[in-house]
Chains A and B, each alone.
Chain A
Amino acid sequence: MTLTAESTTPSDTRTQTDTHCPYCALQCGMTVSGTAEVAPRAFPTNAGGLCQKGWTSAALLGSPARLTTPLVRVDGELRPASWDNALDLVASRLARLRAEHGADSVAVFGGGGLTNEKSYLLGKFARVALGTSQIDYNGRFCMSSAAAAGTKAFGLDRGLPFPLTDLADADAVVLVGANPAETMPPFGQHLRGAAAAGGLVVVDPRRTPTAEQANLHLAPAPGTDLALALGILHAVVADGLLDQSYLDQRTSGFDAVWRIVAGYWPEHVERITGVAAADQRRVAALLAGARNAYVLTARGAEQHATGVATVSAWINLALALGLPGRAGSGYGCLTGQGNGQGGREHGQKADQLPGYRAITDPVAREHVARVWGVPADTLPGPGRSAYELLDALGTDDGPKALLVFGSNVAVSAPDSRRVAERLSSLDLLVTADLVLSETSALADVVLPVTQWAEEDGTMTNLEGRILLRRKAVRAPEGVRTDLDVLSGLAARLGQPDGRFPADAETVFTELRAASAGGPADYSGVSYARLRDGEALHWPVPDEAHPGTPRLFLDRFAHADGRARFQPVEHKGPAEPPDADYPLLATTGRVLQHYQSGAQTRAIAELADSVPEAYVEVHPDTAARSGLADGDLARVTSRRGATTARVHCVASMRTDVVFLPFHFPGDQRANLLTNPALDPTSRMPEFKVCAVRMTTEDGAA
């Protein structure tokens, strides 16, 4: 089952292998040569563009920062070990913990950057080889709120239920808490039509580079995005812009929503959000007057203790205007991580089985167990969600061992001081990593693994399109694929031969069968079809099926075919500012870095561009804390403090500071963040917490 590309490419250095960027969910098309040179490739999502991260991505392939040998902690120090020793050690310690404390004493943490094959095999490994319910992944920190809200509203969650290129014909696009000009720059090409038509609206507390390009920028106080959606919806009704026939034919539940929204007239909402009532009405009119209009949400809407409700409020607005499920218009969520979409579909999430099935659904359990060749009743039930899992590590009834794949939780999880403390209380921490990330530095065993251009695998991009990433270069000596690692561990844990294959295409073939009949049905997708360049958006129920670029055109996925309005109310931030912590901190990404920065900080060109943590603040606010541009500031919350360089930005609200979260150690923005969780998605409140800012030595 060897790929033709695989057998020829790595040895032939002139061959250009078509693949996709290792980072974000835009999954820009690129070619990688046998000598690891990257060039952009025309692909619908990026149309030949790449951002600086994509251009420089190959620098990590041969980087001296790469790990090339397993490391095992001996006498408190990580020392090189052979693969056999490392895997034997891990397997025997896992087996012992399981025997002594039960299957749930061992936990697994995955990532939204892992390929579909890895996500799938990791979920299977947890449920079958370890028998543990304790598996979750960092996608909880990104897309889980929109996923839950989308499922409630439409009966199905696919980030964009339409191809990205549809945006080109839009004359109005409202971006809520999305900063694609930094997080996925080539995306900007799809917004040009709306901007030219005067209909690009950006909702963000900060005047981001994306907001700079907007025709209208609305800057709500952090944590009030939900109220803003209610105000705009109110204006839609008050100004007679409701799409009544769409409501009647395609939705249910508007009346209950309106009873709430009736109490959020724009002037009232202005007071909550700081967004002018006139601007709320303008957005209502823009969306309603457009021929084609979209509402798109991202992390800014999601990363709140009320993230699901917030996204639901924006979906309600889109529904009231009759946008979803109409060709040329719609609602969508901009997925962040490379495989944020596929990663949430194939079973590394605590409550899910492959094909986006619920682990509590008896029919789903039966189906997946049959594919796995195990009795359904041996499959565990749902486990803890990401932060709850991390928070329970090493506690009396929590896991005693953790295997981490594709995540740097020591930097990316909220309240990172607490998380680091939990990690260090484990009996066993194992990571599979490319470089010695901050989490790996705490581990007992570190397993060096391959990265994107060194292996095959599929990704599902932000539009739900399945993409093939192909092996382009040979991996450094001593490095194995994650699939290989899982396969090796499974064998040592007594799993029968062949149950945990290490070959990507073989795993994918099994994934197809496991997903068959589920909401995210991949059964008709094959490596051959992908290699032929077919544009396959799930569901693809059989090999003759052309895929489903646009969902919901005829009906929504609920049994009655209707979309459901969700009655939601504004609550505000879990931690409002007060006299001791008078400012609101919000966190996010910069163009040059990806997630916890473990990869991008190791790339000189990126690290040189943005070398250290900083805090964006209004010059007056800085001055009041005795700080000037370029000084080092100390930012303190109830949970911890971080040090960051002051960047004075005149467009900031005076009550808000912004910190990127890519930096390690004392510069971790997540030392500040509040692990208040959304009741449904269990998403932490990354986007707002109360802080104070002082000079570095702590003087006010």
Chain B
Amino acid sequence: MSPREVVVLGYGMAGARLADEIRRRDPGAERVRLTVIGDEPHHAYNRVLLSAVVAGSMRPDSVRLHDEQWARRHGIDLRLGVAALGIDRAARTVALDDGTSVGYDALVFATGSTPWLPPVEGLTGEHGELAEGAVTFRSLGDCERILDAARVGAPVAVLGGGLLGLEAARGLAGRGNLVTVVHPAEHVLERQLDAGAGRVLARALGEFGIDFRLGRTAAKYLPGDGLKLDDGSHVDADLVVVSAGVRAETALASAAGIAVDRGIVVDDALRTSDGRVHAIGDCAQHPGTVSGLVQPAWEQAGVLADLLTGSDPSARYRGTSVVTRLKARGIDLAALGETHVETGDPDAEVLCVDDPARGRYAKLVLRDDRVTGAIVLGLPDAAATITQLHDRGSPAPGDRLGLLLGRALPSAAPAAASPADLPAATTVCRCNSVTKGQLVDAWRAGAASAEQLTTATRAGTGCGGCADTVRGIADWLASTA
């Protein structure tokens, strides 16, 4: 049997992962012959880490996921810097912008998403290109442009207080830029956070020198000067980072007559309306998940690799519950599930802690003892536990406050009790299973010092960690004698 021709459009996080997963199942290219088309000039890189590149903690070349030999090593026909122009579904070919075309048995869209440009006067030129001094934040190329433009101390405006905008803002503030975030809603991250959390977050980011203009939109961009907002106020900016949201990249699919809604519509087998054509990642729209994050893209890649290689024809993608994690130094924020349920809600159990002075905010939504939503800001270890409970659908522990606050909750154990208060059954020396009661008995039987207690009971002869306690008990016994 000759291998199937699989063509992947897009060599981003989903496309690269799909190729890796296919070769993991079919290392010898016996079942699948693979062609990957990517219009960026680089080998696949980890887009998620671009925020770290902007923040300066990572170099551009350290976010790469594949090296130059990757394609050759795995027998993959990789076309770098080549864009797909059109699809002929009847002939099963894809036309490329280098004038060639490739045929397929199965085609996969992994074309990701593209930044949405808000209608701001002067932001784009007549062909839709961005004006001088304005940059989107999506690709490695964008990062390089941002870093070139954002000289230390220069004022920067960030259009959009979503995840990307806030990560860029934090990164640039850390580099010494004067950053202003312009955001149309009344609080940042309004999709993921309730108003309280949004407030605490903006305040915490403010501590790093970031200014916010909330409930405002940009009306006009003047290169070299800055932004004029809808209330007539002005924001200085040598650079404008546009992070106002993304749109699934669906143009090729809809031109080919494939069903498209917000994204390319797929079923549980990640099939589009054409059974030979699949879609994964940011460009795909599956009812079980919100797109725009990498976790669903990777899980979809795993399922589709099972299907395309025939390793598991029954594999299905059922959706991913997403967790929002802001990657901004000094800020620890996680949000998941339903976060807009209020504490008074009669149908859900909702707990909320609001501690703006310490940059902490926590909200927990439970139904039937399961976590269905949470916002955890400034309480890092609690976030980790809550996320796992949510992912695994396990019942939450009865100690809700302990869950909500994690290590921030003072431990319930009383401070070191005096020897007199220790119950007799308390183990003093774990290495030798010696209880306080046994030490007291040994004292009564004639041991008259810490050393003699040790000889009589072996307490303190293992790791020696209880030596002080034994001495304390000896002192106490001596004083009560």
Contacts and interface: CB of A to CB of B under 8 A. Distances in A.
Interface of A: 40, 47-52, 55, 181-182, 185-189, 209, 213, 221, 237-240, 255-256, 258-259, 262-263, 265, 267-268, 270-271, 273-279, 577, 582, 591-592, 609, 618-620, 624, 654-655
A279 B384 CA distance: 10
A609 B433 contact: yes
Contact of B384 (A187, A188, A263, A270): A270
20 contacts: A40-B461, A49-B463, A50-B462, A52-B432, A52-B433, A55-B458, A185-B430, A188-B462, A188-B463, A259-B65, A259-B67, A262-B65, A263-B65, A267-B325, A275-B384, A276-B332, A276-B383, A577-B392, A591-B431, A654-B397
A159 B180 CA distance: 55
B327 A267 contact: yes
B14 to A, nearest CB: 13
A12 B381 CA distance: 61
Contacts of B462: 49-52, 185-186, 188
A278 B323 CA distance: 16
B62 interface: yes
Nearest to A52: B432
A577 B465 CA distance: 38
Contacts of B458: 50, 52, 55
Interface string B317-330: 00000010101000
B395 A654 contact: yes
Given A49-B461, A265-B49, A654 B62 contact: no
B442 interface: no
B380 A278 contact: yes
Contacts of A181: 430-431, 463
A259 B46 CA distance: 10
Given A221-B388, A237-B58, A276 B380 contact: yes
A255 B325 contact: no
Nearest to B381: A276
A240 B381 contact: no
Most chain B CB within 10 A, of A47, A274, A582, is at A274
Interface in B346-402: 380-381, 383-385, 387-389, 391-392, 394-398
A65 to B, nearest CB: 21
A259 B461 contact: no
Contact of B432 (A55, A255, A275, A276): A55
A275 B464 CA distance: 31
Contacts of A271: 295, 323, 387-388, 391
Contacts of A50: 431, 458, 461-462
A258 B62 contact: yes
A240 B57 contact: yes
B46 A620 contact: no
B52 to A, nearest CB: 6
The 6 closest A-B pairs by CB, nearest first: A188-B463, A185-B431, A278-B380, A185-B462, A267-B325, A276-B384
B388 A262 contact: no
Nearest to A240: B57
A256 B73 CA distance: 13
Nearest to B460: A49
Given A270-B383, A271-B323, 19 more contacts: A49-B431, A50-B462, A51-B462, A238-B58, A239-B57, A262-B65, A267-B325, A274-B384, A274-B387, A274-B388, A275-B384, A591-B430, A591-B431, A592-B433, A624-B395, A654-B389, A654-B395, A654-B397, A655-B388
A603 to B, nearest CB: 12
A238 B52 contact: yes
Interface in B462-477: 462-465
Contacts of B392: 577, 655
Contacts of B430: 181-182, 185, 209, 591
A189 B463 contact: yes
Interface of B: 46, 48-49, 52, 57-58, 62-67, 294-295, 323, 325, 327, 332, 380-381, 383-385, 387-389, 391-392, 394-398, 430-433, 458, 461-465
Contact of B381 (A213, A259, A268, A279): A279
A187 B465 CA distance: 11
A591 B433 contact: yes
Contact of B380 (A185, A258, A259, A277): A277
A577 B394 CA distance: 11
Contact of A189 (B49, B394, B464): B464
B127 to A, nearest CB: 35
Contacts of A655: 388, 392, 394
A275 B407 CA distance: 13
A189 B462 CA distance: 9
A277 B325 contact: yes
A277 B332 contact: yes
Nearest to A242: B62
A51 B432 contact: yes
A273 B52 CA distance: 22
Nearest to A188: B463
Contacts of A262: 46, 49, 62-65
Nearest to B402: A650
Contacts of B294: 268
Contacts of B432: 51-52, 55
A70 to B, nearest CB: 36
A263 B464 contact: no
Nearest to B327: A267
A278 B49 contact: no
A262 B431 CA distance: 43
Contacts of A47: 464
Contacts of A591: 430-431, 433
A238 B380 contact: no
A358 B62 CA distance: 39
Most chain A CB within 10 A, of B58, B323, B391, B461, is at B461
A259 B332 contact: no
Nearest to A275: B384
A47 B67 CA distance: 51
Nearest to B463: A188
A47 B460 CA distance: 12
A187 B325 contact: no
A186 B384 contact: no
Contacts of A619: 398
Nearest to B458: A55
Contact of B398 (A51, A273, A582, A620): A620
A620 B397 contact: yes
B436 to A, nearest CB: 16
Contacts of A277: 325, 332, 380, 384
Contacts of B295: 268, 271
A50 B397 CA distance: 39
A237 B461 CA distance: 43
Contacts of B48: 265, 268
A55 B432 CA distance: 8
A258 B49 CA distance: 13
Contacts of A267: 325, 327
A278 B62 contact: no
Most chain A CB within 10 A, of B388, B392, B395, B431, is at B431
Given A276-B384, A620-B395, A52 B431 contact: yes
B463 A185 contact: yes
A284 B75 CA distance: 37
Nearest to B13: A263
B64 A259 contact: yes
Nearest to A619: B398
Nearest to B388: A274
A187 B463 contact: yes
B28 to A, nearest CB: 18
A623 B395 CA distance: 12
Contacts of A239: 57
Nearest to A269: B384
B46 A255 contact: no
B381 A255 contact: no
Nearest to B432: A52
Contact of A278 (B63, B65, B332, B396): B332
Given A237-B62, A239-B57, A270-B387, A55 B461 contact: yes
